[in-house]
A and B are shown apart, each in its own frame.
Chain A
Amino acid sequence: MSATAETLEGRESRVRRLRTASVPYLLLVPAIVALAGVSLYPTIDGVQASLHKYRYALDVGYTGADNFVAIYNDAVFWTAMARTVQFTVCTVAIETLLGLLLALVVARELRFAGLIRVTLILPMTIAPVVVGVIWRLLYASDIGVVNPLFELFGFDAPNVLAHPLTAFLGLVAVDVWEWTPLLFLIILAGLQSLPQDPIEAARVDGASALQVFFHHTLPLLRPVLLVAVVLRTIDAVGTFDQIYVLTKGGPGTATQLISIYAYNTAFLFNQYGRAMAMLISLLACLLLLMAVAVHLMRRSSEIAE
Chain B
Amino acid sequence: MTARERLGAVLVYLTLGGAILLALFPFWWMLVTSLKRPVDIFSGVALWPQQLTFGNYYRLFNEFHFGPFLLNSIIIVTASVGISLVIGTLAAYALARFRLRFGVRRGTLYLVLLVRMLPGILMCVPLYIALAKWGLLNTRLGLILIYAGLNTSFVVWMMQSFLEEIPRDIEEAAMVDGDSRLTALWRVVVPLAAPGLIATAIFTVIATYNDFILALTMTSTPAAQTIPVGVSTLIGKIEIQWGPMAAAGVVGALPIVIFALIVQRHFVRGLTFGAVK
Binding site for B on A (CB under 8 A): 23-25, 27-28, 30-32, 34-43, 45-46, 49, 102, 105-106, 108, 110, 114, 116-130, 132-138, 140, 142-143, 145, 148, 177, 181-182, 184-186, 189-190, 224, 227-228, 231, 234-235, 237-238, 240-241, 244-245, 259, 262-263, 266-267, 272, 275-276, 279, 282-283, 286, 290, 293-294, 296-297, 300-301, 304
Contact = CB atoms under 8 A, between A and B. Distances in A.
Instruction: Indicate the member of B11, B126, B153 with the most A CB atoms within 10 Å.
Output: B126
A256 to B, nearest CB: 13
B232 A129 contact: yes
A161 B181 CA distance: 59
Chief secondary structure at chain B's binding surface = helix
B87 A30 contact: yes
Given A34-B84, A105-B11, A240-B120, A177 B94 contact: no
B37 to A, nearest CB: 13
B129 A127 contact: no
Contact of B93 (A27, A119, A148, A304): A27
Contacts of B95: 28
A38 B123 contact: yes
A107 to B, nearest CB: 9
A122 B27 CA distance: 9
B193 interface: no
A145 B29 contact: yes
A120 B22 CA distance: 9
Nearest to B260: A125
Interface of B: 11-12, 15-16, 19-20, 22-24, 26-27, 29-30, 33, 41-42, 44-45, 83-84, 87-88, 90-91, 93-95, 97-98, 100, 104, 108, 110-115, 117-130, 133, 145-146, 148-150, 152-153, 156, 181, 206, 209-213, 216-217, 227-228, 231-232, 235, 240, 242, 245-246, 248-249, 252-253, 256-257, 259-261, 264-265, 267-268, 271-277
B212 A227 contact: no
A121 B232 contact: no
A38 B152 CA distance: 10
A229 to B, nearest CB: 11
A42 B128 CA distance: 9
30 contacts: A23-B98, A28-B91, A30-B87, A31-B91, A31-B108, A31-B156, A32-B111, A34-B152, A35-B149, A39-B118, A102-B19, A114-B265, A117-B264, A121-B264, A125-B256, A126-B257, A127-B228, A128-B210, A137-B33, A145-B29, A145-B45, A148-B44, A186-B268, A227-B276, A241-B213, A244-B213, A272-B129, A276-B125, A290-B114, A297-B275
Contacts of A43: 126
